[in-house]
Structure 1
């Protein structure tokens, strides 16, 4: 047990690059010395906490064809109170551009649903907006680990919810860690919170927590999209998405050299040990919320390492929306499009598998669905949205002691240049740089600014 604890300590306290390099060592080290405890026991406990959350999902539409956003509200009845007339608490909300599916992950409890047509597209319920109130007829008792498929919510054009005045949905988000047991995961999401790259939540310790202790990360670091300056409608937002074990501070050099007269930097922060489908869904939903709050029409996307896999998943989701923001530029940097072999080793040998390893393994279900319309047969390529231009950057600076195929000391060049990714990219750029070092190259910074400016012309 002592050996495994030592490996864990080294992986947490070293810098971001070292965390990534030690992942395969941690996996194989624990397996080879025959231990089933140590960090993997902690990973298992974290996964059990997340699995204990209940899931409520369903569809929503209106009874007539109107082209307005729809908002589904999840209301929670305080524990120990059975009176139906008690004041219910808003646990979370889900935003859709039109008819479609919604879902919530929440702690066990008693819930109800309300849905409304947001005709002003401002995340504020106005008394004259069509709404559906399921109280008191459709109460939901959601137990630990349960998945409840709710009947389709149909908002009647004449339906209303009795309120005293406008209700600001965005303003009702839960903001404190102490309320974590009474909320849905979406309620701890940062949606445009203004901060700096020196925010303690962006520390390497929290980044490591996001990989090994994702449940704790949700409430201590808080996932979401953070603004690095107050929103300015005259500037185009640039969203930076980090990789596995990463943090927004990985982009410090690029952000410090960003043209701040034209662009405003946003950073997406998430627990990198989670399943990537869930992360891509979360990013998509958070962007939708920001669109309703600020009404921006264009967003530029920059991703590093595994963040590219998250971003492609987001782009594929976003292209199905009718009122989505225009995303004319996607820049991926050192992304393992073809997967990482050590992830497959972890899946095969680790006592407890970190969820993201399933998705990072070569030929995983997640990777196949990123590039194929038929992921089981893998015959029909799934392209990025036609209005999105993808520029693919890769690194090739090997360690002098490295053996085997070419790499950037973390990801192989072959994985970075996976044919499916090349097929959608308008141009490839190679740099003599390491996996992390590429983010601090002046030539990369200058190229990025050039691509950003070209994208808004």
Structure 2
């Protein structure tokens, strides 16, 4: 448990952190204000890639009295049809999509289209749940969709001859699912990782979110999904991407703002994985996560496997994950001028942490836990740590009761990702065909286990 009375040294260190992170807290303050004043409309058009040309997602703020459009926005809908918008508070937003077959940036009669509609097929506002600040819907494009004349007339009046590019407000949320990534792209840099911590709301607009591939999908290779931790970036996984056997595996990575609430990050990941599975029908997906990414991943896997009943995730590797929470998160929630949303979930004893272990993965998913103990003395952490996370948190009893294997390494929190022994072990875990949980105690296979304690 965390100490209630912080030692003077810890308070001094926190004060120093607050001073040096001043610019970050200012950015966070603006971001939190934006979140309070906006809701999210999340949409999936399930057959968006059935048609050639660009697909557009649109949102219209319709005055219910005059029937006029007050504001509008649009975003390119990706091949798998997931997109979203930030909208100001209100319940009068229509959402829809169309396939721009002739690439003229406007809907024309006969083009496949869809609108969120009522039971009679009339376009109707997508409500925002006050509890979550989100509205969700899905649909399919169809050439048979009939858009009421009053709505097309209102759109024409609002556009007044303007192209879509001229009315876009920039509040569309970019969602990538299977897009090819260049890791040298600045959007995947460590600087962007910091932005994801301090600006979790604006990050999806400026940088996008989603699941990226490093190469086109190959049905003959197993996808391995990598999930980074707090303030991390895809570039953290470079050593793994280089060492992974590309003849057998294809690396994917989850790109997300680490400052957002962890359950939200897990939900978004689950929705993305299920959309990719609906398209590619892969039989197996392995998951490798670092630090806080392990918390996000376990929540995602619990939803995907235990709640939704999907069978394709059977291996889960976590590295240096703070299963028991983090001392600095609790200090930040208590003493920081502004609180990064994910800090609430990173506290010891948080609702998120409690819910994370309500159901066991063992028997469905083999969880391999790797931890580090190569840290130096810290004013905040216990003496046994990896420089960022205490060993006690990495080896939290709740998670130890649900793993199949544990291994420790004399590495710090970041260095463990380039430790050759770790890279080798993860590769052998992925190659292992038989679950350690299924091998009878005392058998030769069991004695040959991949893990040999501390390294």
User: Mind listing any 5+ residue stretches in structure 2 that lack a counterpart?
Assistant: 1-9, 44-55, 98-110, 147-163, 436-455
Structure 1 stretch 363-372 or stretch 399-408: which is displaced more?
399-408
Q: Is the 8 A contact 1:241 1:268 kept in 2?
A: yes
Do structure 1's residue 29 and structure 2's residue 16 form an aligned pair? yes
Task: Quote the offset at 1:50 in angstroms.
Answer: 2.3
What is the alpha-carbon distance in structure 2 between the residues aligned to residue 330 and residue 192 of structure 1? 21
What is the alpha-carbon distance in structure 1 between the residues aligned to residue 285 and residue 122 of structure 2? 41
- Match of residue 303 from structure 1: 289
**Root mean square deviation, CA, Å:** 4.5
- Match of residue 279 from structure 2: 293
CA change 1:53–1:385 in 2 (3 A) is: farther
1:76 to 56, 59, 63: 59
Task: Quote the offset at 1:398 in angstroms.
Answer: 2.3
Task: Quote the offset at 1:41 in angstroms.
Answer: 2.9
- Match of residue 42 from structure 1: 27
Q: Give the structure-1-normalised TM-score.
A: 0.70
Q: Is the 8 A contact 2:283 2:312 kept in 1?
A: yes
1:120-199 → structure 2 map (5 Å cutoff): 133-134=117-118, 137=122, 139-140=124-125, 162-163=144-145, 179=168, 181=170, 183=172, 185=173, 188-199=174-185
Do structure 1's residue 54 and structure 2's residue 46 form an aligned pair? no
1:274-285 → structure 2 map (5 Å cutoff): 274-285=260-271
Q: Is the 8 A contact 1:56 1:105 kept in 2?
A: yes
1:216-231 → structure 2 map (5 Å cutoff): 216-231=202-217
Task: Quote the offset at 1:421 in angstroms.
Answer: 0.8
Do structure 1's residue 111 and structure 2's residue 93 form an aligned pair? yes
- Match of residue 364 from structure 1: 350
Cα shift readout 1:13-50 (whole Å, capped 9, x = no counterpart): xxxxxxxxxx998853366x7x9974323211111212
What is the alpha-carbon distance in structure 1 between the residues aligned to residue 249 and residue 289 of structure 2? 16
Cα shift readout 1:364-406 (whole Å, capped 9, x = no counterpart): 111111012xxxxxxxxx2126321000000111226777430
What is the alpha-carbon distance in structure 2 between the residues aligned to residue 225 and residue 307 of structure 1? 14
CA change 1:148–1:249 in 2 (3 A) is: closer
1:348-387 → structure 2 map (5 Å cutoff): 348-372=334-358, 382-384=359-361, 386-387=363-364
SS in 1 for 2:240: helix
- Match of residue 268 from structure 1: 254
What is the alpha-carbon distance in structure 2 between the residues aligned to residue 178 and residue 435 of structure 1? 46
- Match of residue 408 from structure 1: 386
CA change 1:215–1:310 in 2 (3 A) is: same
Cα shift readout 1:65-90 (whole Å, capped 9, x = no counterpart): xxxxxxxx986227789469xx9968
RCO (CA 8 Å, sep 6+): is it higher in 1 or 2?
1
What is the alpha-carbon distance in structure 1 between the residues aligned to residue 166 and residue 411 of structure 2? 40
What is the alpha-carbon distance in structure 2 between the residues aligned to residue 283 and residue 107 of structure 1? 22
What is the alpha-carbon distance in structure 1 between the residues aligned to residue 414 and residue 366 of structure 2? 24
Q: Is the 8 A contact 2:376 2:383 kept in 1?
A: no
- Match of residue 172 from structure 1: none
Number of matched pairs: 377
User: Mind listing any 5+ residue stretches in structure 1 that lack a counterpart?
Assistant: 1-22, 59-72, 96-101, 116-126, 165-174, 373-381
2:316 to 313, 330, 340: 330
Q: Give the structure-2-normalised TM-score.
A: 0.70
CA change 1:146–1:427 in 2 (3 A) is: closer
What is the alpha-carbon distance in structure 2 between the residues aligned to residue 131 and residue 40 of structure 1? 39
> Considering only CA atoms, is the larger Rg found in Structure 1 or Structure 2?
2
1:440 to 397, 400, 418: 418
What is the alpha-carbon distance in structure 2 between the residues aligned to residue 36 and residue 247 of structure 1? 19
What is the alpha-carbon distance in structure 1 between the residues aligned to residue 167 and residue 389 of structure 2? 40
What is the alpha-carbon distance in structure 1 between the residues aligned to residue 348 and residue 247 of structure 2? 41
- Match of residue 155 from structure 2: none
SS in 2 for 1:77: strand
